Amino acid sequence: MGDTGSSGQGTGGRAGPSPVLGEMEKALLSVDRVKAGKIVTDSCIPGSPFTCLETLIVPALEDVGRRWETGEVALSQVYMSGRICEEIVDTMLPAGDPHRVDQPKMAIAVLEDHHTLGKRIVLSVLRAGGFEVIDYGHGLSVDQLVEKVTRDDVKILLISTLMLPAALRAKEAIARIKTAQPQTKVIIGGAPFNFDPRLWNEVGADAVGHTASDALELVKQMAEGIR
């Protein structure tokens, strides 16, 4: 999502960065898989994967995303940081782990637009948070998105848009999805929703997003409500 976050309510801030978090970020930007993995192993309490995800992996990945936005790091570093974090999470929460299995089906997509970085960061953060998310890709039409969501019986859908026309088209997509599957929750995000704080409500979404960490928090809340 160009940016993803809460439905008008903050989810709280974090304390200042710790030395371990700084080392983790440095390892990610250096594409040092071995060092990143060792930092996680040395810093995280065995048997508490979500504590590690929430206090180390997700914040480090978000910091990398913020540094890209300010021009400090390259797009390739953001991409590789996400891949490394996903690989680490796969070792902590294998596909058959009960934490992964007991989840509502969720998906993410970029509607009509082809700008994918925001979606990439959100997707990586969600996966780093232990969630399985179907990636529908970018440039989807309304018809394609509705068909995929209803076919897969998606319970939580994240839609990202970059330009206003696509944001307005989301209204039709959400209406059709809600008609077919009233229980599906929709989180929407992207630049148009940052400029107009009421737009998310006008297009019929259940929540709007501004940051990747808020997207993670929203998905957690929605997943708990669906179970």
Percent of the chain past pLDDT 70, that is, above it, reads 88
C-alpha distances in Å from residue 148, one per residue of 108, 174, 203: 11, 13, 19
Helix H segments across 93-131? Answer: 98-101, 117-128
Output the CA–CA distances (angstroms, integers) from residue 22 to 65, 149, 214, in the order listed: 14, 39, 21
In the structure, what pLDDT confidence band is assigned to residue 227 with cuts at 50, 70 and 90? Answer: low
- What tokens does 195 get? 């400029």
- What distance separates the 2 farthest-apart alpha carbons in the chain? 49
Q: At what angle do helices 142-152 and 164-180 cross, to 10 degrees?
A: 30
pLDDT digits (tens, 9 = 90+) for 121-160: 788 888 878 888 999 999 999 999 999 999 999 999 999 9
The rounded Cα 189 to chain-centroid distance in angstroms is 11
Q: H or E segment at 96?
A: none
User: What is 19-226's CATH number?
Assistant: 3.40.50.280
pTM, full prediction: 0.70
Closest CA to 44 of 96, 92, 101: 92
Domain boundaries, the chain: 19-226
With a cut of 90, say whether residue 49 has pLDDT above it: no
